[in-house]
Chain A
Amino acid sequence: MTESRTEAWETVIGLEVHSQVVSKAKLFSGAATVFGAEPNTQVSPIDAAFPGMLPVINRFCVEQAVKTGLGLAAEINLRSVFERKNYFYPDLPAGYQISQYLQPVVGHGRVSLDLPDGTVREVGITRLHLEQDAGKSLHDQHPALTYVDLNRAGVALMEIVSEPDLRSAEEAGLYLRKLRSILRYLGTCDGNMEEGSLRCDANVSVRRPGAPMGTRCEIKNVNSIRFVMQAIEYEARRQIELLEEGGRVEQQTCLFDVGRGITRPMRSKEEAHDYRYFPDPDLLPLVLDPDWVERIRASLPELPDAKKARFMSQYGLSTDDAGVLVAEKETAVYFERAAQGRDAKVAANWVVGDLFGAVNRLGIGIGQSPVSASQLGALIDLIADGTISGRLAKDVFAEMVASRADPTAIVEAKGLRQVTDSTAIEAAIDTVLAAQADKLAEYRAGRDRLYGFFVGQIMRATKGKANPALVNQLLKKKLAG
């Protein structure tokens, strides 16, 4: 709900996500799909639409789409149809894109979002269909000419269309993160937005709460979650201002200007396409064997929602911790390894706290963490068996990040083993109390706050190695005595 000068407006958002299918070969040709290859080195005559070349569907890409559909709890359409979307552009070699239109391979599904207020929002999936990517026009290689790189032409995309169920830029961001997480769990899209593996079109409209849908604008081809959120924010604000000034929202297609943070209409009417969709006569309808679909269903990995529920019930984690730990598959795997046979809550605290802090600071993913899951587990063990204190453990962890060494080795090398010898601790207490005779007198006169001061002095004297519980116990006895 966006507050404005007069009254509340509701923003209504639906997203179309184009996600590149993880596959070695393209959707209709055997050409490779490696990112970053030299221009036009991964192009077959089929991708370049040479005369007489024909498309043949890549079975693996279909399997990936079905897997994704199942991961989105969606209907799988056992019969779907590839159609041609006709338009001219130099990076579209055939003059048409092979896509699915009236009969997509995946129908209605859903994604559930954990909202910040603790509630869960179900977002409907309208459909998922397979289509080819276009090539890339390079306008910056020559002052007057445009170059075309067809490496990407024909690469398989899944277009995932949501229902207009999202109500804010934040929800749109949550949805994209959740969708990307599901795709990564499934291994059907790497979700790498920098490489263009995940691109998003946002349909945005505003209305008075309870009123019919407003006129929508479509913001095309935004390639980061942050920009999608900014674009929605800007566009909703623009529409509200327009309406409040008595204007009307025109249905149009916009681009998001990243530099200025605004949406701009694309050249509209003259560029309006009539795509002349019709079933591609080079391809037969795609008919799936129900048993094959069931075999894919049986092979699905545990997905984020299920994993989160299990983390809460099996490990007793809070919703927040479980949610954070399952967001990325790598994190969940790391956590479970570190927690195995240990206090899972302690492990969760380490992962969510110190480990996240360290990898964020280093700007790396948890997969590249300098501290492995088993090393973190070993550190937790050292605390549990009293070898080091929780406070010293933080220093050991910092050293592990810096040196990649095992915690035991660090503890031994630096002599950090905790002192649990009560004679030694008593000696330290005696030394401190003797040296601070005036403070001791004040304490005995009633200044209780000085207790913490004594503890600090004793820990300093023992270089932090004294077992804190033992220090407390013995100090109290001395002070009382």
Chain B
Amino acid sequence: MSDPALLALNLAEARDGLARKLFSARELTAAYNDAVAEAKPLNAYITPTPEHALAMAEAADRRLARGEALPLDGIPVAVKDLFCTRDIPTTAGSRILDGFRPPYESAVTDKLWQAGAVMLGKTNLDEFGMGSSNMTSWYGPVENPWRRPGDNRPLVPGGSSGGSAVAVAAHAALAASGTDTGGSIRQPASFCGIVGLKPTYGRCSRWGVVAFASSLDHPGPMARTVRDVAIMLGAMAGHDPRDSTSAPVAIPDFEAALDGNIEGLRVGIPREYRVDGMPGEIEALWKQGVGWLREAGAEPVEISLPMTKYALPAYYIIALAEASSNLARYDGVRFGLRVEGASLEEMYELTRAAGFGAEVRRRVLIGTYVLSAGYYDAYYLKAQRVRTLIARDFARAFERVDCILTPTAPSAAFAIGEMSSDPIEMYLNDVFTVPANLAGVPAVSVPAGVSGDGLPLGLQITGRAFDEQTVLRVAEVLERTAQFRHLPGFVAGGRA
């Protein structure tokens, strides 16, 4: 098979091709190594690991030859550079982790390798996952492979898992791991026209994932199809006693849940998600999605999630409070960057000033402020109460409906520099995604249409805790009905 043909296969197809020995894992991986190199201008990867990938592919080929294939044997995937990978640089997109090579492998990536997957490299991201545009990385911005027709300005891929989203969209990986703290898997998936799932909190272990906000960080899969995401989730999920917040629940067969049957399923449509300033085409796509699901036998139900408008401020208080504490360990003492100073305090100050970018510094400052004596009750404690109420909103809604359909983001991808420099405006891009992080419930973004200027738009399906099956089942029906077949302007190997 030619490289472009190999690269055009999705994960499930590649898995079948490997099983039927139409090509070897080595051939597939070599094609992807070339694709990673070809896609370099997009800056999706911080650290490609081509030789590592070939060695893993050869091991997969040996297992395939013996008929001992593992679930993801020979599947080349990208890893967001927030997952620690043993002896391979792990940067979190930050200068402060300069030279850091973890002596351990994160739980989720370890599971991927145990399942036979092949690591293509570590993907770019907003620094420590803090951003919605992938413009805060020390390793430079990532470019979206999509362009507006007739407009050559590069667009952002969304964030923070922008590198992973671009790698998958540009055929420079079959799938990728991401993390989602306030939409960091779903929003870039929406911007890049791929599928991204934030699982239930506790479904995938956080052990070995560089922490942004512990109670909100969710590792999860990104891929080109819902089925591929289901396959990836099966390999990434599972209880991990090393993570106290990991849930001791069984791993269902997510792929088997994709039976296309949503007959009688009740789909909630929350009225609070019609926010001011949302483009009409997104509203229209949402209505279209409701129509598609109704035609497939589901029953749309208007619901109310009254606390939605408080989600964003509560999220930014809790996330930044936790971040300010989680990032205290980057002090120049034990690993990463150190800038020497005349005193201990000066070493701290110089190291952290040089090591953290502006957005990270802003968030650490805000987080420190909201936890300070005299402000704790007004900010952090109140935000936690709001969080409880938001979780209650979802719990009540799920007494009446089986899942909830909303847009993923209030906009399509925007051009670098198109967004105002007001950070609040950037934070507003998370308005539809943060409630699921606060409540810990699973949510997936599926590409469902294109904007007036030809950019992908995603719809989001949110479900009950530990009911990823329903979320994925509905997503697959939506994917099939929407028949989203667009490709970005750039794909590695060329548009076939």
Contact = CB atoms under 8 A, between A and B. Distances in A.
Interface in A272-303: 274, 276-278, 281-284
A51 B102 CA distance: 8
B48 interface: no
Given A45-B103, A95-B331, A276-B371, A56 B244 contact: yes
B206 A48 contact: no
B485 interface: no
Interface in B214-251: 214-215, 241-245
Nearest to A280: B214
Given A49-B334, A54-B242, A94-B329, A281 B372 contact: no
B264 to A, nearest CB: 36
Interface stretch (B170-178, B301-309, B320-328, B390-398): B320-328
A84 B208 CA distance: 20
A96 B211 contact: no
B336 to A, nearest CB: 9
B329 A282 contact: no
A55 interface: yes
Interface stretch (A85-93, A238-246, A390-398): A85-93
A174 B382 CA distance: 45
Interface in A376-410: none
Contacts of B328: 86, 88, 94-96
B104 interface: yes
B100 interface: yes
Interface residues on chain B, size class: 35 or more
Interface centre among A84, A86, A148, A282 (most CB of B within 10 A): A282
Contacts of A56: 241-244
B344 interface: yes
A52 interface: yes
Contact of A148 (B83, B333, B335): B333
Nearest to A96: B325
Contact of A281 (B97, B106, B207, B322): B322
B488 to A, nearest CB: 32
Contacts of B373: 274, 276
B352 to A, nearest CB: 10
Contact of A90 (B104, B211, B344): B344
A301 B2 CA distance: 76
Given A54-B207, A281-B215, A49 B371 contact: no
A107 B449 CA distance: 59
Contact of A282 (B92, B241, B245, B348): B245
Interface string A86-130: 101010011110000000000000000000000000000000000
B348 A88 contact: yes
B118 to A, nearest CB: 22
Chain B interface, >50% SS class: loop
Contacts of B333: 90, 93, 148
A278 B321 contact: yes
A50 B371 CA distance: 23
Nearest to B345: A88
A57 interface: yes
B114 interface: no
Contacts of A146: 344
Contact of A54 (B244, B371, B376): B244
B380 interface: yes
B214 A282 contact: yes
A54 B322 contact: no
A299 to B, nearest CB: 26
A51 B207 contact: no
B90 interface: yes
Contacts of A93: 329, 333-334
Nearest to B243: A54
Nearest to B84: A52
A283 B371 contact: no
Interface string B82-105: 011000001010000100101110
B459 interface: no
B209 interface: yes
A95 B92 CA distance: 19
Nearest to A52: B208
Given A84-B325, A86-B325, A90-B333, A57 B244 contact: yes
B329 A49 contact: yes
B368 interface: yes
B372 A52 contact: no
B293 interface: no
A90 B329 CA distance: 10
A95 B329 contact: yes
Contact of A50 (B214, B243, B335): B335
Contact of A86 (B83, B214, B334, B371): B371
Contacts of B371: 86, 276-278
Nearest to B211: A52
Interface in A26-84: 45, 48-57, 84
A95 B325 contact: yes
Nearest to A48: B334
Contacts of B245: 281-284
B214 A281 contact: yes
A54 B84 CA distance: 13
Interface in B311-358: 321-322, 324-325, 328-329, 331, 333-335, 344, 348
15 contacts: A45-B104, A51-B92, A53-B207, A53-B208, A54-B207, A84-B325, A90-B333, A93-B334, A274-B373, A276-B325, A278-B376, A278-B380, A281-B322, A282-B211, A284-B244
Given A54-B207, A146-B344, 17 more contacts: A45-B103, A50-B102, A50-B329, A51-B92, A52-B211, A53-B207, A56-B243, A56-B244, A88-B328, A88-B348, A95-B328, A95-B329, A148-B333, A277-B371, A278-B380, A281-B213, A282-B211
- 5 interchain residue pairs of minimum CB distance: A95-B328, A281-B215, A281-B214, A276-B371, A52-B208
Interface of B: 83-84, 90, 92, 97, 100, 102-104, 106, 206-211, 213-215, 241-245, 321-322, 324-325, 328-329, 331, 333-335, 344, 348, 368, 371-373, 376, 380
